[in-house]
Every structure is written in structure tokens, then in C-alpha cells.
Amino acid sequence: MSDSSQILVFDRSQVRRQRDRAARGFAAHRPLFDESGEALAERLRDVKRAFGTALDLGAHTGGMASRLTTHGVPFVVAADMSIGMARQASALAVVADEEGLPFAAESFDLIVSNLSLHWVNDLPGALAQIRQSLRPGGLFLAALLGGATLYELRDCLMEAEINVTGGVSPRLAPTIELQTASRLLLRAGFHLPVADQERVIMEYADTKSLLLDLRGMGETNAHAQRPKHFTRRRILRGAARLYEARYSGGEGGIKATFDMLFLHGWKNDRPQQGAISSGTHN
Amino acid sequence: MTEPITRRIDPKLLAILVCPLTKAPLRYDAEKQELISDKAGLAFPIREGIPIMLIEEARRVER
């Protein structure tokens, strides 16, 4: 992901539609979010300070917001692009886009984002806005998908498409590498930035179950240049055959890799020099 | 179908919301259930007590 590019990689309206569609049945597709959510909560428990106001950014149905309330934060806002998702949150809900945050400067002591920021086109811009919304001394904590996430599916879809059509079109979202995420965190002016990665392997009965789960999570392709026609059956069938032959799981099923990048950074107590100006929307 | 009693927007939430485009303060129209950004000329709807702070969902208003 290039951080200076003006090209829109993701169709944000499509991200929103996918989340709207996934909203009703999301509870059945939460394991990955619960996994990273628990990891975020664990990291939070290691932080020796109390937070008065927090934002769950890209909240989906507000799972992380609930964890923040359990953690003892008295004022928690859950923001998601999809009203279908946001209305299920038990916290105060707002429908908002990470690319245009509707929060005043220095509104929160803590901003947490659980598996949402990998759909943002302008991650440096989003990080700058996040930092601006934090109070001095505030903490930003996020998990996002990156690295080799879904490399098996990518590999099989690409090969199956070449076999059928002789060419390749973008079918899966481009992913961000840990080093890039780490650099962006620093460039956005976060203090004591830390980025690390955890790999989660999920097992599915077959390729169809994996694709249904991705759809249920609202994580299917929102690539702006994705093919507008439906993926041809032959390609999918071919990809499924390759997948099941190459990446079999433990008990006759298949495995799928998810690399979770964890970002952690503070906003300095005192004004900082060299931080990127965040007033890019004026 | 009867209209449910409008869920009031939380005042503490209202206090921290700004226009996503200009970051300027918003004017709350309780009757229309809208948050108005005079600077951007946009009115953001509030549905079921949830502010919809998306530019593509906002209504254009006279500046």
C-alpha cells in the first residue's frame, strides 16, 4: 500500500454495503474479531492507567466497545460505517467513516480499532485524524489484517483465473505489511509506537465455508477495481479444487491464514514537533 | 405503523461531534433530528438516536 498515492484502492461505499449486509448475521461470524478483540483487551490490561472516554472505531456490532465498558471505561462511543452494525452496539453509537472522523480534537483518552482499518484508503490520513481526536497522553490501539492474510485463497484464485481466462483481475484486498504500518504510526506522530504481528490459522470444512464466513464478516472484496461481473463459477470451482488439494487442514478441511497487525501508540502530553499536520480536510 | 418515540441523542456525544468534512461545530436541530454543518452546507440525519455522520447520507442545505 503506497502512503502517498491518490488512487482509491477501496470502494468505501462497497465496504459499507458489505457491512450492512453482514450486520444481521454477524454474531455467527465473530470468532476472528473475538480473537483479536481479546488480544487488544489483554494489551489494554497491561497499561497502567485509567481511561475516562474511549472510542471503538470501526466497531461493527460493538464487541470491542463492550470490552472497554467491562474494562471500566465510563464513556464509550462505538463508531461504524454501517448503521445495521452500529445499532447493535450497547455503547453510544455513531455512524462514521474512518476516513472522515466526526469527532472534535482531543475528545478521547483511548481509541481502539478492531479489524477495520485495513479497509481504509488513506491510512496516514486516518491515523492523523485519530491522533487529533486523542487527548494529550491518550492511547491508540488497533488490530488490522495484513501481512500474508488469506494468501492461500489469493494463490488459488489467481491460478484458477489464469487457467480459465489467461489473465488476472484483483479479487482480494491488497494487504499492508507490518513494517509499513509501523512506519505510518511513527510518521503520524505517535509517541512510543509499537507494531507487532500475530498469525491466526482458521480451519474450515471447505472453500465454500471459508467464502461464506468472509461474507458473513463483511470481509469480501471491496477493491475499487474489482470485476463488476460475478466471479465465474469455473474460476471458483477451480480455485476450490486447488485450495482443497494444497492447503488441507487437520481433519479433512482447509486452513486459512490471517495475520493480525497490532498497532500501539501514544499521543504526547506536550506539543510535539515534526508531527504531520492533521488538518488535511480544510 | 406508529413512529417510536425519538431516541434522544446523548448530550455528551453531541458535545464532541463535529462535521467530518470541515471539523467545524454542528448545530443540532431537535425537531428535524439533524446535525447541521453550516460551513459545509450539510445536514446529517439522526436515525433511532444514532447520528449518521456520512457525507453521502447528508442533505444539502443553504449555506
Provide the 10 A C-beta neighbour count for residue A17.
Answer: 15
Supply φ then ψ for residue A30, to 5 degrees.
-95, -10
Q: What is the DSSP letter of A15?
A: H
pLDDT in tens, A130-154: 999 999 999 999 999 999 999 999 9
Q: Which residues partner with A196 through β-bridges?
A: A262
pLDDT digits (tens, 9 = 90+) for A31-80: 999 999 999 999 999 998 999 999 999 999 999 999 999 999 999 999 99
Q: Which residue has the cell 440525519?
A: B45
Q: What is the DSSP letter of A19?
A: H
Domains of chain A and any CATH numbers: 12-266 (3.40.50.150)
- Which residues from chain B sit within 8 angstroms of residue A95, using beta carbons? 50-54, 57
Count other Cβ atoms within 10 Å, centred on residue A108: 27
pTM, to two decimals? 0.90
pLDDT band at A2 (very low <50, low <70, confident <90, very high): very low
Judged by DSSP in three states, A213 sits in helix
Find chain A residues with C-beta within 8 A of B52's C-beta: 83, 95
Mutate which: A57, A83, A135, vs B, most B CBs within 10 A: A83
Instruction: Inspect the interface and report whether the beta carbons of B10 and A100 lie closer than 8 Å.
Output: no
Mapped onto helix, strand or coil, the DSSP state of residue A195 is strand
Which domains, from first to last, does chain B contain?
Answer: 26-63 (2.20.25.10)
Q: How confident is the model at residue A4 (pLDDT cuts 50, 70, 90)?
A: very low
* Amino acid residing at A70: T
Asked whether the beta carbons of residue A100 and residue B55 sit closer than 8 angstroms, the reply is yes
Would you give the distance in Å from CA B41 to the centre of its chain?
Answer: 12
CB contact under 8 A, B21 and A100: yes
User: What pLDDT digit, counting tens, does each position of B11-47 carry?
Assistant: 999 999 999 999 999 999 999 999 999 999 999 999 9
Chain B residues in contact with A16 by the CB 8 A cut-off are 54
Q: What is the count of residue pairs from A and B with beta carbons less than 8 Å apart? A: 64
Q: What is the ipTM, given to two decimal places? A: 0.92
In angstroms, rounded to a whole number, what is the distance separating the alpha carbons of residues B17 and B37?
A: 11
pLDDT in tens, A233-258: 888 899 999 999 999 987 889 999 99
